[in-house]
Chains A and B, each alone.
Chain A
Amino acid sequence: MSLLKVRNVTVRFGGNVALDNVALDAAPGEVTGLIGPNGAGKTTLFNVITGLLAPQRGEVRLDGADLTRLAPFRRARAGMARTFQRLELFGLLTVRENVELAAALRRTGGSGGAAGKAGALLELVGLSDVADVRSDELSTGRARLVELARALATDPRVLLLDEPASGQDETETEAFGLLLGRIAAEGVAVVLVEHDMQLVMQTCQRIHVLDFGRILAVGTPQEIQTDRAVLEAYLGTTEGAA
């Protein structure tokens, strides 16, 4: 049962095909991995899903409803949230304000709801100590956590994470993997783009492999690790080895 359904998405930049007939499914309660070499089209696909980029063809559905023509902010209100590979924090605001603003836009809870929610989320991702620091003063690793907290503040049903662990050290990454599991366990469909294969293989239930704008393989971590086409894409042709 998939909550997020992407079908036949094609994006061309001039003569360059960035996404070619791509399909992707993400189920609630699961972490879905999206991996592939640099330039494979992962971020482009996220941009299409969140509405920052209009595809030439294809559709994006959330829980059966067609979102393809909706503006990004309407998709967000429908339950779509994301983080960015190139950080997009509100640098003029403090860490707390970043999260509070997202919570306030969602308008859940009574008075003071946004502030309380922001506090709880900062606690969850472990940023309470820097809550009142301007967000552009944080290290990359911690800034990514602010983006995560901000995305969570919108009460997402689908959470798209674009390389959330880059800039984090080993212990931070490990804690982050556990956190992802907890988020998914609450019924969120998490889609994870990540280059840290250990994190991907440990956290994801299903993995999509994207290469040159095409979906190369879909399967469980075990299946992906032994898939011939995937190995070729990552390690070059296996003709000699075979």
Chain B
Amino acid sequence: MDTFIEATILGLATASILAIAASGLVLTYTTTGIFNFAHGALGMLGAFTYWQLRVDWGWPAPLALAAVLLVLAPLVGTLIEVVIMRGLTDAPETVRVVVSISLLVALLGLGLWIWSPQQAHPITPFWGFESIDIGGWFGWLPGASDDMSVVVTYHEITAFAVAILLAGGLRLLLFRSRPGLAMRAAVDDRPLSMLNGARPGRSAALAWGIGCTCAALGGILMSPVTTLSHVNLTLLIVNAYAAAMIGRLRSLPMTFAGAVLLGLIDSWAITYLPDDSLLLNRIRFVAPVIVLFVVLLVLRQPRPRGHAVQRTREMIPRPSWNGSLITAGAFVAAGVYMSVILTEPDALDIARIVALAIIGLSLVPLVGFAGQLSLCQMSFAGIGAVVMAHHGQGGSLLGVLYAAIFAGVVGAIVALPAIRLGGLYLALATAAFAVFMDQWVFLLEPFDFGPWTIKLFPQGTVPIDRFKVPFLDVTDTGGGLLIVLSVIFALLYLVVVAIRRSTFGQRLLAMKDSPAASATIGMNLTATKMVVFSLSAAMAGVGGALYGSTLGSASPDRFAFFTSLPLLLLGVVGGIGSAAGAILAGVLLGATPILVNSFPWYENIARVLPGTMGIALGRNPNGIIQELRVGFAPLAKTPVFLMGTLGATGAVLGLRLAETIDGALFALLLVAAVLGPGLVLRLRDARALGQADQVVPADPTGALTSAPAGNGLDEGATVPLEWVGIDRPFTREDVARLDRELGLEGAR
């Protein structure tokens, strides 16, 4: 009996901390419409800052608490809202989620940078380990003995008190104060509340300030109970949103109820389940995921949305077969070239990058075409690697096939509860699944399931044989492997092109554009999303099998949640509508261990880079590669410069092949050859534009009236006259066209 009561009290204390964290999450989400994936990371930073002040610098507890909770946390929260989130209110959901995840990755990187994980950060509970015995209170219970002992620590009591005060405080704020009224109005109808004189910006900043304080409070209370760990505190977000999901991310009282449920499951599981079985004692990591999935199953489907407002015009061009075949050929050529000039180990490193790029490519149909997010792509890759390890022995290519099938089926199962809800809910479900795999499934010892024995990573790592191409002994060397992987990447790239060109690809783009219109022309949105999610998971499985093959032996941390996130972010930054994003993601992720080897200082840069890039560039739907391509488009139309670029690049590559140049000089010359002619051309255009500018004011304004007023576009023009120079930089053609249509041709 006393064990039960103590476990219950412990569970309620955990619940209090969860409720504190979750209510901050709900507050920011309802007020601003942005789900803060970085909530746990903010709590982590709060807890570490508190440790810094209290333990490392020895400040008195009240002073340290005041500094963190009353000054730093509200300040940081408000700053995040004003600087990063404010511009996102009308953005598509994908963009909001990507930026929010970027913040998570950046903050986690920052935390790891400042407080090294190699160092211990001991922290004691409030009031040390002092406790009282309240066993006497329960004498009336049936089965209770008179001398029963029930110990409650002061820390637990503090957690209860803070949670109750916070609940009361939020209630007062929302229902009894003016700022609270404004916040609730902004939730109901933002434009309307603005018409009535409210300032949603202010409410949002206030909500983020309070939300961030709640996160820090949760982190500070949680860290002495578990340990002060970057990853665990950041992952608190999953438990917090599982609790919030019970309140449908909206209701604070239901969120508190959800927290109690999760806290009790957690504590009873620790107390009553045998801890010698890994299958069972990690239930605490699994419970939130199960709760989340159950809630997803009962949530009602939201009505299909119409368009989202987008500031930048999205470009997902329909690639031609000719162009795509040339591109695919270029991928293979690049692979062959590198396999010739590189040493064995270096070629193997590049082969790993190509394998990661294949996993990145799996995001193109899902994120780029269908506009759905997956935060567990590396988990599918991990499944692919495990399948390859156990069914691709001796390098059998069948292992890769099985990897695709298995990952695809698991993908379908994961998607089942969340896919009809889509958007944010799919992102949340996939994040929960990734954590579930990281914290539990990938750690399992081999176990029996019916007639089968399921093996994952039996000794913490698993050896994976390098796959063999039938009749060809090419993959034994790093260079050969690189060539084969380049060919596979090129083939999968062509598969993605085929999807984009097919009716199915049109369906995906239509669904992303306007789910409402897609449904009313007879498209089954759930089935369409299901197919593309499963396909994407299968592709990631293939990528994972190949990636594992390049590693030789793989451990679960290669396929962690915190690898899936940068993969997605870098893919989006590079441009997820084409192969460009996949390549950028593969290169930056794959190059990190190589660069860290040579330059140790790069490790911390690599930690914050994906996040900061995501925050800065995640809102551009086209990605930076597409922007570059548009910027250098005039090159293709000017044969002299195009030939110059190709010739110079070829010459540099040839010199390297002849081993005339090497190392940094080669890299420098290559960049100059690729970018140089384009830059010269742009400079020339800019000068021409400058001259045109000087001419315009000299012309009589009467010329404007003679401009043609046709409805359609003139020959050769891609945009109406008013749009020239708005969606891309001015080109010489544009200037000429403006001159022509304004009747200025003679003025030159």
Contact = CB atoms under 8 A, between A and B. Distances in A.
A73 B307 CA distance: 18
Nearest to A78: B522
Contacts of B188: 14
B519 interface: yes
Given A86-B306, A101-B507, A139-B711, A76 B513 contact: no
B521 interface: yes
Interface in B512-542: 512-514, 516-525
A92 B306 contact: no
B719 A102 contact: no
B520 A90 contact: no
A136 interface: yes
B350 interface: no
A170 interface: no
Residue of B304, B513, B712 ringed by the most chain A CB atoms within 10 A: B513
Contacts of A71: 519, 524
A214 interface: no
B304 A72 contact: yes
B510 interface: yes
B139 to A, nearest CB: 50
Contacts of B711: 139
Given A52-B304, A130-B712, A76 B514 contact: no
Interface string B80-122: 0000000000000000000000000000000000000000000
Contact of B521 (A51, A54, A97, A105): A105
Given A76-B521, A101-B506, A102-B521, A90 B306 contact: no
B226 interface: no
A84 B521 CA distance: 12
Contacts of B522: 73, 76-77, 102, 105-106, 154
Residue of B316, B507, B519 ringed by the most chain A CB atoms within 10 A: B519
A150 interface: yes
A92 B368 CA distance: 12
A84 B517 contact: yes
Contact of A76 (B303, B503, B519, B719): B519
B190 to A, nearest CB: 15
Interface in A35-93: 47, 50-54, 71-73, 75-77, 80-82, 84, 86-93
Contact of B525 (A73, A97, A106): A73
B514 A89 contact: yes
Nearest to A151: B521
A104 interface: yes
A139 B306 CA distance: 19
Given A93-B510, A129-B712, A88 B521 contact: no
A123 interface: no
Interface string A121-144: 000000001100100110100000
Interface in B689-714: 711-713
A133 B518 CA distance: 20
Contacts of A51: 519
B514 A72 contact: no
Contacts of A92: 314, 316, 509-510, 512-513
Contact of A136 (B313, B512, B523): B313
A82 B306 CA distance: 14
B521 A154 contact: yes
B521 A81 contact: yes
Given A88-B307, A89-B514, A129-B712, A150 B509 contact: no
B202 to A, nearest CB: 24
Nearest to B513: A90
Contacts of A52: 303-304, 516, 519-520
A90 B517 contact: yes
Nearest to B521: A102
A113 B711 CA distance: 31
A91 B513 contact: yes
Interface residues of A, number: 44
A88 B520 CA distance: 11
A63 B307 CA distance: 31
A86 B307 contact: yes
Contact of A72 (B519, B719, B720): B519
B64 to A, nearest CB: 45
A92 B310 CA distance: 12
Nearest to A147: B517
Contacts of A98: 510
A153 B523 CA distance: 13
Contacts of A153: 521
A72 B520 contact: yes
B517 A137 contact: no
Residue of B188, B304, B512, B517 ringed by the most chain A CB atoms within 10 A: B517
B313 A53 contact: no
Given A52-B304, A73-B523, A102-B522, A88 B503 contact: no
Interface in A131-174: 133, 136-137, 139, 150-151, 153-154
A136 B314 CA distance: 10
Contacts of A72: 304, 516, 519-520
B58 to A, nearest CB: 54
Contacts of B525: 73
A182 B513 CA distance: 31
Contacts of B307: 86-88, 91
A102 B506 CA distance: 10
B237 to A, nearest CB: 31
Contact of A82 (B503, B512, B520): B520
B503 A101 contact: yes
Nearest to A130: B712
Nearest to A94: B318
Contacts of B720: 137
Nearest to B301: A71
A89 B711 CA distance: 20
A59 B506 CA distance: 33
Residue of B304, B316, B522, B524 ringed by the most chain A CB atoms within 10 A: B522
B514 A93 contact: no
Contacts of B510: 90, 92-93, 98, 101
Contact of B509 (A50, A90, A105, A139): A90
A104 B520 contact: no
Nearest to A14: B188
B56 to A, nearest CB: 52
Given A76-B522, A129-B712, A137-B719, A84 B516 contact: yes
A227 B523 CA distance: 42
A47 B305 CA distance: 12
Contacts of A84: 306, 516-517
A93 B506 contact: yes
Contact of A104 (B304, B313, B503, B524): B503
A102 B518 CA distance: 8
Nearest to B522: A76
Contacts of A150: 517, 521
Contacts of B506: 90, 93, 97, 100-101
A228 B34 CA distance: 49
Residue of A50, A104, A150 ringed by the most chain B CB atoms within 10 A: A104
Contacts of B513: 89-93
Contacts of B719: 137
Interface string B303-335: 110110000011010000000000000000000
Contacts of B507: 101, 105
Q: Which 6 A-B pairs have the closest CB atoms?
A: A76-B522, A72-B519, A88-B517, A90-B510, A102-B521, A88-B514
Interface of A: 14, 47, 50-54, 71-73, 75-77, 80-82, 84, 86-93, 97-98, 100-102, 104-106, 114, 129-130, 133, 136-137, 139, 150-151, 153-154
20 contacts: A51-B519, A52-B303, A52-B519, A53-B303, A71-B524, A73-B519, A73-B520, A76-B522, A87-B307, A88-B306, A89-B514, A90-B514, A91-B314, A92-B314, A100-B503, A100-B506, A101-B510, A105-B522, A130-B712, A153-B521
Given A91-B307, A101-B507, 4 more contacts: A52-B520, A72-B520, A76-B522, A105-B521
